[in-house]
Structure 1
Amino acid sequence: RDRMRGAFGGVGVTVWRDAEGRTVLAPHPDGPAERAGVREGDILLAVDGETVTDGTTVDDVRAWLHGEVGTTVTLTISRPPTPSFDLTITRVLDHAPDIGYMRIESFTERTGEETRTALQALQGERVSGLVLDLRGNSGGLIEPAVETASQFLQDGVVLVELRRDDEEQTFPVRDGGVAPEVPLAVLVDGGTASAAEIVAGALQDRERAPLIGEPTFGKGSVQLIYDLSDGSSLHVTSAVWLTPDRHRIQGQGLTPDIASARGDGPQDEQLERAVAYLMRET
């Protein structure tokens, strides 16, 4: 008990702002907030009587929730249609989740191999979950994208290519995936395009991982480019890409399972949502 005196901790909850500007909570499994009665999706109205306003940042709320271990903090919560109510929670030492993070910026010839190597290293650290960040990834080569998706799948289809003559080419899962059972969440946004949408679409359709963030770009076609004598060029679409459930990527993109804006502040709210999801799943 003496060792705990003066140590700072929290209440075991993830905080973010939703699209309507409300401050939303998600308790960590078996943490003090969950044991006190906090539920995912609860709206935070006040902390120890300090009202959460439009000007209150997520970092402000985190600072209010943290304090000396063993002290209490009272949250005023809205959970419609129930009237707002208070929950008093005792702070404990924070425990960082054993969750890995992998960002892929583009798909080049070596991306599949590099992804496999990185996943093997993460597994050596015994991570309990993984966030795959495809935000801002404008695409690249198809084969490395298929290889990357295959690391998280056991079998089945990654991609269907529908050609102009109505012929189809199916790209199956490559054998030897190293992380088919690791709990996974995928971050996407409007900059996620082309080969990155192939990976995200396969993992979403196969119910391997939720997509978290914003709708993707919607670039899912193969184009042939012909240079003309006047210096211009002619672009002819020769094929379009379909996800395993035959969702057309071109012009439509992918809709996230959990919609979340990135936020204007220094805190990455989409990443926070992904971590909160994985902590519930592990």
Structure 2
Amino acid sequence: MILAVCGAANESRELRIATFDAAWSKVGETYYDPDFRGLDWTEVGHRYRAEVENSQSMAEVRSLITKMLYELGDSHLALLTSVSDKGKALPWGGAWAGVDLCSAGEQLYFYRVEADGVAFAAGVRDGDRLLAVNGVAIDDFWRSLRNSGAPDHVIKYEVVSSVLSRFRSGVGDRVEVQIESPEGAKRTLSFNLEKYEGRSSEPLGNIGRLPIELETRELSEKVGYLRYSLWFPAIMPDIRSYLSNLSEETDGLIIDLRGNPGGLMFMAGGLAGMLLDQQETLGTTTMRSGHINVVGFPQKRAFLGKVAVLVNESTLSTSEVFTIGLQELGRVRVFGQPTPGAALPSMAFSLPNGDALQIAMGDFMTPGGNSLEGRGVVPDEVVPISPVDLSRGHDTVLEVALHWINSNE
């Protein structure tokens, strides 16, 4: 889960070197693998520091730190900065267009287009393929991320996240999109972003406010539906209330984690406990010294009926921990597209220039003893994206999950 923080303007040579040294040493002190995945971290640091000493700007230093981190090949190793970089996600500026994005191969499609949003008013519809945003072709986002050296398993998520951030930047920002309908009609549309009026998180450490979506509804008299966009404590009371008040007639529950990039890992155990009748371990985080288990403790009025979990390429981190833990325990059935496998618990540390450094602090192992990083969650039923179905108002993944719940399987 890559988040943004504010940076400083001072770019003296001393500050550039101090910023690099702080990043290099902090990874050396805290990264979960003391063998650094077979790398000589001292040699790596000296190699990049030589370039830092000859750098002319903080932008160069940021690029070098990022490349150094990518040599480890893990998710949750990132430089967090508010400075724009082509291909990278922009910080949330309090705006909202009322759209989400999903991918099929390297094509991006709109879905969850809100009928009262500015994008819908401009003519954007579910199932439309996004060709370019603000003059930048989607192919260029892919090219930029690949050229950055980012780990292969997170590139698809990074592309979706980066493009989507253009629809959630500053209030009043002008957005121009080139789109293609499922029938092949191409259009250029533009609109101004409006202020987000929904719930948002409280600042947490280096993480600023973020929009939080929470949706609960009944798909039928016997099937409940729960969707939330982040694992943050602010929404847990509402989730707990919804689950504990499900009717005794409810046969099944669909938990929609598509587009949920994670949050606080301890919440995975908390929600799992509301779906279990006995204590279970969802997995273990192994750190440099010691380990931490993610445990679900059974709670009063737990829901013990069928549970389907929906995932896609933007289901990361805590969402993956929750899903694969319960999947391997046989408690849930998973539908959608494979997830990236970006589930390393991390912490953010401040750097001298005002940026922050996100460092993976542990490796998460599933109940079956498998590392989740780079492997991800493979759905029990893989359901491909269909732009035509989306354009006709059909959420195929949801429909397949609902069919399973209503069946005798």
TM-score range, shorter chain: 0.5 to 0.7
Question: Is 1:281 matched with 2:408?
Answer: yes
Question: Which residue in the other structure is 2:385 paired with?
Answer: 262
Question: Which residue in the other structure is 2:313 paired with?
Answer: 190
What SS does the aligned partner of 1:212 have? Answer: strand
What SS does the aligned partner of 1:274 have? Answer: helix
Could you tell me which of 373, 380, 399 is aligned with 1:250?
373
Which one is further off, 152-161 or 265-274? Answer: 152-161
Kindly state the Cα deviation for residue 156 of structure 1 after the two structures are TM-superposed: 1.6
Kindly state the Cα deviation for residue 188 of structure 1 after the two structures are TM-superposed: 0.6
TM-score, normalising length: structure 2: 0.42
1:144-163 alignment to 2 at 5 Å? 144-154=267-277, 155-163=279-287
Separation of aligned partners in 2, 1:262 and 1:173: 32
1:173-188 alignment to 2 at 5 Å? 173-176=296-299, 178-188=301-311
Higher helix content, 1 or 2: 2
Separation of aligned partners in 1, 2:231 and 2:347: 20
Question: Which residue in the other structure is 2:147 paired with?
Answer: none
Higher strand content, 1 or 2: 1
Separation of aligned partners in 1, 2:267 and 2:235: 6
Using a 3 Å threshold, how does the CA distance of structure 1 residues 177 and 263 change in structure 2: closer, same or farther? farther
Q: Deviations over 1:133-157 (max 9, x none)?
A: 1111111111222111121122221
Could you tell me which of 220, 239, 263 is aligned with 2:343?
220
Q: Which amino acid aligns with 1:109?
A: P
Separation of aligned partners in 2, 1:177 and 1:211: 25
Separation of aligned partners in 1, 2:245 and 2:354: 50
Separation of aligned partners in 2, 1:177 and 1:191: 32
Could you tell me which of 203, 222, 226 is aligned with 1:98?
222
Kindly state the Cα deviation for residue 281 of structure 1 after the two structures are TM-superposed: 3.3
Kindly state the Cα deviation for residue 241 of structure 1 after the two structures are TM-superposed: 1.6
Question: Which residue in the other structure is 2:325 paired with?
Answer: 202
Q: Which amino acid aligns with 1:163?
A: M
Separation of aligned partners in 1, 2:230 and 2:358: 23
1:1-282 alignment to 2 at 5 Å? 98-123=222-247, 126-154=249-277, 155-165=279-289, 167-176=290-299, 178-229=301-352, 234-264=357-387, 265=390, 266-281=393-408
Kindly state the Cα deviation for residue 269 of structure 1 after the two structures are TM-superposed: 0.4
Superposition RMSD on alpha carbons, in Å? Answer: 2.6
Kindly state the Cα deviation for residue 130 of structure 1 after the two structures are TM-superposed: 1.1
TM-score, normalising length: structure 1: 0.60
Structure 2: tracts of 5 or more residues without a match: 1-181, 183-219
Q: Which amino acid aligns with 1:216?
A: T
Using a 3 Å threshold, how does the CA distance of structure 1 residues 179 and 226 change in structure 2: closer, same or farther? closer
Separation of aligned partners in 2, 1:141 and 1:173: 15
Q: Which amino acid aligns with 1:120?
A: S
Q: Deviations over 1:36-75 (max 9, x none)?
A: xxxxxxxxxxxxxxxxxxx9xxxxxxxxxxxxxxxxxxxx
Kindly state the Cα deviation for residue 229 of structure 1 after the two structures are TM-superposed: 4.1
Question: Which residue in the other structure is 2:196 paired with?
Answer: none
Separation of aligned partners in 2, 1:211 and 1:254: 9
Contact in 2 for aligned 1:220/1:248 (Cα 8 Å): no
Equivalent pairs: percent with the same residue?
Answer: 26
Contact in 1 for aligned 2:282/2:294 (Cα 8 Å): yes
Q: Which amino acid aligns with 1:277?
A: W
Q: Which amino acid aligns with 1:158?
A: L
Kindly state the Cα deviation for residue 210 of structure 1 after the two structures are TM-superposed: 1.1
Contact in 2 for aligned 1:136/1:190 (Cα 8 Å): yes
Using a 3 Å threshold, how does the CA distance of structure 1 residues 110 and 225 change in structure 2: closer, same or farther? closer
Structure 1: tracts of 5 or more residues without a match: 1-54, 56-95
Using a 3 Å threshold, how does the CA distance of structure 1 residues 278 and 163 change in structure 2: closer, same or farther? same
